[in-house]
């Protein structure tokens, strides 16, 4: 119902592209993919994407005059694999992520900017959103103390955690083990193990015991995720 209402006022026969989601990422109304696609694959598709990129990079804050878009990525610049088609055609990197899009029907025709909206069910204005950079911390008897690491990425967490738990790391897993956080003796005595997983093969699934399941529920309850 929500999807129907959000898009009910769009004339798809005249629509080449549309934004979806609060980050404003762009989908092209592509023939053969969208139900009423009008943009032909190939040259026309690329021409539409390039024109949109050019226009987005021209957007400026009406109050400061500063550009508000740092970069617009084509999806193949960020993603790879068999499911790239499910990603938006264009992904926008807003300046400092202090801009975001919204369905604000009060904005006058011809204007791109409106007033800040309140965060859901609060009195606070929504003046930004999530940043790309996060914080990584680790501690324990085999973790180096007072060490700062550089260039860690979120995809490095899974192989690092698997290694720390003494589990083999699938060869096709993205990311790397963050060896620099571990003591040298630990690395020497516990070299990483890798395993090969055949495409389409079902991986072993380990079930929680009743005691482990109870402990997980207690932790989630303590964190407020469940009642």
177-218 pLDDT, tens digit each: 999 999 999 999 999 999 987 766 555 556 778 898 899 888
Q: For strands 17-19 and 26-28, give the pairing.
A: antiparallel
What are the structural domain ranges in the chain?
2-97, 154-222
Query: 227 Cβ partners below 8 Å, 6+ apart?
Result: 221
Output the CA–CA distances (angstroms, integers) from residue 87 to 18, 43, 76, 173, in the order listed. Answer: 14, 20, 9, 20
Q: What value does the mean pLDDT take over residues 79-85?
A: 88
pLDDT, position 54: 97
Asked whether the predicted pLDDT for residue 49 surpasses 90, the reply is yes
The pair phi, psi for residue 80, each rounded to 5°, is -145, 165
Output the CA–CA distances (angstroms, integers) from residue 174 to 85, 153, 157, 159, 160, in the order listed. Answer: 19, 10, 10, 8, 11
As a whole number, the mean pLDDT across the chain is: 86
Output the CA–CA distances (angstroms, integers) from residue 152 to 34, 159, 162, 176, in the order listed. Answer: 37, 12, 16, 9
Please state, in angstroms and rounded to a whole number, the distance separating the CA atoms of residues 42 and 28: 12
Q: Global pTM?
A: 0.65
Asked whether the predicted pLDDT for residue 95 surpasses 80, the reply is yes
Please state, in angstroms and rounded to a whole number, the distance separating the CA atoms of residues 100 and 125: 12
Tokens coding 17 = 């592209």
Output the CA–CA distances (angstroms, integers) from residue 168 to 177, 180, 197, 204, in the order listed. Answer: 12, 19, 11, 12
Contact (Cβ atoms closer than 8 angstroms) between residue 29 and residue 17: yes
């Amino acid at each position: 119902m929500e999807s129907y209402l959000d898009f009910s006022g769009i004339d798809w026969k005249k629509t080449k592209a549309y934004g979806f989601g609060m980050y404003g990422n762009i989908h092209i109304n592509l023939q053969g993919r969208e139900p009423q696609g009008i943009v032909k694959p190939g040259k026309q598709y690329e021409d539409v994407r390039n024109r949109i990129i050019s226009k987005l990079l021209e957007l400026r804050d009406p109050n400061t005059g500063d550009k508000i878009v740092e970069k617009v990525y084509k999806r193949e610049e960020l993603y790879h694999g068999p499911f790239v088609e499910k990603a938006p055609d264009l992904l926008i990197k807003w300046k400092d992520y202090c801009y975001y899009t919204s369905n604000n029907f009060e904005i006058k025709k011809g204007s791109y900017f409106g007033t800040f909206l309140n965060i859901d069910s609060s009195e606070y204005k929504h003046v930004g959103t999530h940043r790309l950079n996060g914080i990584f911390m680790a501690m324990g008897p085999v973790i180096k103390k007072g060490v700062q690491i550089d260039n860690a990425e979120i995809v490095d967490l899974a192989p690092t955690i698997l290694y720390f738990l003494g589990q083999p790391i699938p060869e096709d897993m993205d990311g790397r083990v963050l060896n620099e956080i571990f003591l040298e003796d630990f690395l020497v005595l516990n070299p990483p193990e890798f395993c090969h997983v055949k495409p389409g093969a079902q991986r072993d699934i380990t079930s929680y015991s009743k005691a482990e399941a109870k402990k997980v529920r207690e932790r989630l309850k303590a964190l407020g995720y469940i009642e």
